[in-house]
Structure 1
Amino acid sequence: MDKRSKIALYSIGVVIVLMMIAEITKPKALNWRDSYSAADKIPLGCYVLYNELENFSSGDVLVSDQNIYEYLKRADTLTKKTIVFINNRIYFDTEESEALLNFVDKGNTVFLSSTYFFGNALDSLNISVEQQYANLFKAPSEHKFTSPNLKANNRIFEDVIENSHFVSVDTLNTTILGTITTTNEDELKTTSPNLIKVTYGDKGGEFILHTNPFAFTNYHLLNGKEAYAAAVLSFLPKQQIVWDNNYKSGRKVITSPLRYILQNPALKWAFYISMFGLILFVIFKGKRTQRIIPVINKLENATVDFTRTIGELYYQYGDFTNIIEKKIQYFLEFIRTNYYLNTAQLNPIFIEKLAIKSGNTKEDSKALVDYLLYLKSKNKHTEKELIELNKKIEQFTNNKL
C-alpha cells in the first residue's frame, strides 16, 4: 500500500471516529410521537399513569399484550375486572366486539379513552363521536365534570390536547359525566359531552367512554396536573384493573433482525461501519480486478407490462400495505384532479364538499373517508382490507358526476 492510500484510509478512519463522537454526544430531540405505551417516558407515553393505576385497582394491575378476543378467551372470569384502553384510535373487529360485549354483559367494566372509536362494539352502544382533524396543538378547551363535587378537578387544557366529543348518545342507558367547552373563531362557546357512562346488560356492566386520551399522558400528569385524570378514573369501580398493552400506537413490534439491530444504538453503528467498510473494500478491490462489463441492450418502453408485473409482484408476496397506500394516494389524486378539493385534511367539511361534487350521499362519503383514515392508521394490512378498499372506491367513483 502506497503512502497516498494510507493517508486516505487514515482520513476516513478519523472521519468515522468524529461522526461516532458527534452522534453519541449530541442531545436527543424530544419525541412527540403519540405512544400511550406504559413503557414510554416520552411526553405522550403513559409510564406515569400505568405506575399509578394500582391506586385504583383492587389487586395487582394485569397486562394484556394480545387482542381482546384472545385475552378474554383465557382470562379468569370469576372475579369482576375493569379493562382500560387508552390510545388515539381504537378499533374492534367483529370477534373482538362480541368478546368485549360478553365481558361487560357479565358485570365487568370497560374504560376507553380515545379520539375516535371504530367497530361493532361501539356501534352497539348507539354513540357517535366527532373528531377534530387538526394539529396536535389546538385552541384551549375547558373540561368540566357534571358533578358539583368534582368542580375543583375541572381543567382548561391549553396545549397538547384533543377536542373530540360525542355528538349522539343513547339517552336511555347513558349518563353524561363530563363535558368539553370550546371557543370558535367568532368567540362562540360550544359545550358537548366528552365523558359518558353507558350501562350494558342486567348485571351492572358498564362502558365508560372518554374522548381526550392526551389527558392521561406523561405531559399532563406531571407537575401537580394529575387532578383531572384522577377524577376521571375515580368513576371506575373498585375492582382489579387490566391494562391494555396491545391497542397502542407506540406498541413495539420487532418483525425482522434488521429492525432489532437498528433499534439498538451500539448494533446500529456496528452495522453502519461494517457496511461502510464493505463499500470501501468493493471500491478498492474493483480498481484492481475490474471484470468485463457485458453489453446490455436498451429495454423497450413497456410501461403497462412493467406496471402489471410490479402489481403482480406486490400481490404475490403479500405486500398488501404497499398496494393499499398506493391506491389511497391514487384515489386522493383523483379527488384533487376531478373535484378540485384539498385533501390535506379529511375533515367533516371536506366530506360534505366531496359528497356534493361526487354525487354520492354524505353518509357514503363519510364511510369511505373513515375507512381511509382507519387504513392509514394501521402499519399492516390484510388481503381482505385491500379487497374492501377497492370495492368501496369502485362503488364511490361509479356515482361520480
Structure 2
Amino acid sequence: MDKRSKIALYIIGAVIVFMMIAEIAKPKALNWRNSYSAADKIPLGCFVLFNELETFSKGDVLVSKQSVYEYLKDQEFSEPKSLMLINNLVSFDNEESNALMKFVEDGNTVFISSSYFYGNVLDTLNVSVQKQYTDIYRKEAKNKFTSPHLQDNNRLYKDVIENSFFESIDTLKTTVLGTLTSKNEDDEDETHANFIKVDFGKNNGQFILHTNPFAFTNYHLLNDNENYAATVLSYLPKQQIIWDNNYKSGRKIITSPLRFILSNSALKWAFYISMFGLILFVIFRGKRTQRIIPVIKKLDNATVDFTRTIGELYYQHGNFTNIIQKKIQYFLEHIRTRYYLETNQFNSKFIDNLAAKSSNTKEETKNLVDYIVFLKSKPYHTEQDLIELNKKIEHFKRT
C-alpha cells in the first residue's frame, strides 16, 4: 500500500472516531412522553410528586400495580383510604367501575386527575368532560380555586398543558372547587369548572375529580407551580393514600413472548425447572457422549473398470491378435503366481504338474496348452480364436 492510500485510510478512521465521540458526547434530547409514573424523572413523570406524597398521607403510601378491580376485590380496609389516579387518560370497564363505586360507598375517597375520563363512573355521577382541542400544549390557562382564601395559589399555566374541563355536572351533589379560564377561538375568556368534589354513598365517600394532570408532573412542580398542586391535594382527607401505578401511560409493560408464562406462578416454575433440566442434560450429555466418528467411504477399486475399458477399446478396433497375446500373458502369470510353475516350456512334465495342481484332467489341460501354443504360432487371429481361447481358460479356472 502506497503512502497516499495510508493517509486516506488514516483520515477516514479519524473521521469515524470523531463521529462516534460526537454521537456519544452530544446531549440527549428531552423525553416529552406522557408518563405519570412514579419512577420516571422525565418532564411528564411523577417522580417528584410521589416522593412528596407522604406529606398528605396518614402513614406510608400504598402502591397498586393492578387494575382497580384486581386490587380492591381482596382488600379489607379497617380505616378509610384515598385512591389516587393521575394520567392523561383514565378509562374503566364495567367491573372496574363497579369496584370503584363500591370502594367509595364504603366511605373511601377516589381522587382522579386526567384530561379525559371514560367509563360508567362519570355516567353515574352525571358528569361529562370536554377537551379544548385548539392549540394543544400552547393555550394559556388560568387555574383558580373557588375559595377566596386560596387565591394566592392560583396559577397561570402557559405551556405543557391540555385544557380540559367539566362540560356538565350534577349541581345537587357536586361542589366546584376550582375553575379554568382560557381564551376561546374568538379570543374571549371562557371559564369552566375543572376541579370538583362529588359526594357518593351514605358513608361520607367522595369522588374528587380534576382535569389538569400536568400540574402534578415534574415539569410544573419544579417550575414554581408546586403550590397549586399542593392546594389541590390538600382537599384530600387526612388518611392513608393508595398510589395507582397501573393506569399510567408510562407503565412498564413486559413485551416478552413469555409474559403469560411468567405471570402465572405454576407455569413460571414449570418453565424454570424445564430450562434447568435442559441445561443439566446438555452438560452431562455433552461430556459422556463420544464424538461422532465420521464414516470413511471405502475407496473404489478402479482396476477392473480400467481393464474392462481397455479391453473394449481393443475389441472395438478389431485387434484380436493383441487381445489374445494379452490374455495368454495374463493366464500364464496366473499359473506362475497361483500354482508356482515355470511357464518357459510347455512339455509333458509341465502339463502333468498343471493338471495335478489345478484339479483339471490331463486331457483338458493338454488341450488348453496345445491351443495356446497354436495361437502363439499364428501371425493373425480372428474373433472366433479369441472366443475359443476365452472359453477354454474360463472352463479351466472353474474347476
TM range, smaller chain: 0.5 to 0.7
Matches within 5 A, 1:121-160: 121-160=121-160
Percent identical pairs in the alignment equals 67
User: What do residues 215-268 of structure 1 show as CA deviations (whole Å, max 9, x unaligned)?
Assistant: 111111114321111110000000000111010111121312899xxxxxxxxx
User: What do residues 167-194 of structure 1 show as CA deviations (whole Å, max 9, x unaligned)?
Assistant: 1111111100001111224332111100
Aligned equivalents of 1:218 and 1:73: distance in 2? 32
Aligned equivalents of 1:98 and 1:42: distance in 2? 34
Alignment correspondent of 1:167: 167
Alignment correspondent of 1:224: 224
Tell me, yes or no, if the aligned pair for 2:136 and 2:163 is still in contact at 8 Å.
no
Of 159-168 and 131-140, more deviation after overlay is shown by 131-140
Compared with structure 1, are the counterparts of its residues 241 and 12 closer, same or farther at alpha carbon in structure 2 (3 Å cutoff)? farther
Compared with structure 1, are the counterparts of its residues 258 and 201 closer, same or farther at alpha carbon in structure 2 (3 Å cutoff)? closer
Aligned equivalents of 1:16 and 1:76: distance in 2? 63
Compared with structure 1, are the counterparts of its residues 142 and 17 closer, same or farther at alpha carbon in structure 2 (3 Å cutoff)? same
Aligned equivalents of 1:191 and 1:132: distance in 2? 12
Aligned equivalents of 1:189 and 1:237: distance in 2? 33
Q: What secondary structure does 1:74 align onto?
A: coil
Alignment correspondent of 2:91: 91
Compared with structure 1, are the counterparts of its residues 209 and 24 closer, same or farther at alpha carbon in structure 2 (3 Å cutoff)? same
Aligned equivalents of 2:15 and 2:109: distance in 1? 59
Alignment correspondent of 2:195: 195
Aligned equivalents of 2:22 and 2:198: distance in 1? 55
Q: What secondary structure does 2:117 align onto?
A: strand
Alignment correspondent of 1:42: 42
Compared with structure 1, are the counterparts of its residues 8 and 155 closer, same or farther at alpha carbon in structure 2 (3 Å cutoff)? same
Of the two, which has the highest radius of gyration? 2
User: What do residues 5-34 of structure 1 show as CA deviations (whole Å, max 9, x unaligned)?
Assistant: x99999998787655433321210011111
Aligned equivalents of 1:36 and 1:88: distance in 2? 8
Alignment correspondent of 2:113: 113
Aligned equivalents of 1:138 and 1:252: distance in 2? 29
Alignment correspondent of 2:101: 101
Q: What secondary structure does 1:228 align onto?
A: helix
Tell me, yes or no, if the aligned pair for 2:81 and 2:242 is still in contact at 8 Å.
yes
Alignment correspondent of 1:308: none
The letter for the 2-side match of 1:175 is T
Alignment correspondent of 1:245: 245
Aligned equivalents of 1:7 and 1:68: distance in 2? 67
Residue segments in structure 1 that go unaligned for 5+ positions in a row: 1-5, 260-401
Matches within 5 A, 1:198-213: 198-213=198-213
User: What do residues 31-56 of structure 1 show as CA deviations (whole Å, max 9, x unaligned)?
Assistant: 11111111111111111111111000
Q: What secondary structure does 1:130 align onto?
A: strand
Compared with structure 1, are the counterparts of its residues 231 and 13 closer, same or farther at alpha carbon in structure 2 (3 Å cutoff)? same
Q: What secondary structure does 1:63 align onto?
A: strand
Aligned equivalents of 2:17 and 2:165: distance in 1? 53
Residue segments in structure 2 that go unaligned for 5+ positions in a row: 1-5, 260-399
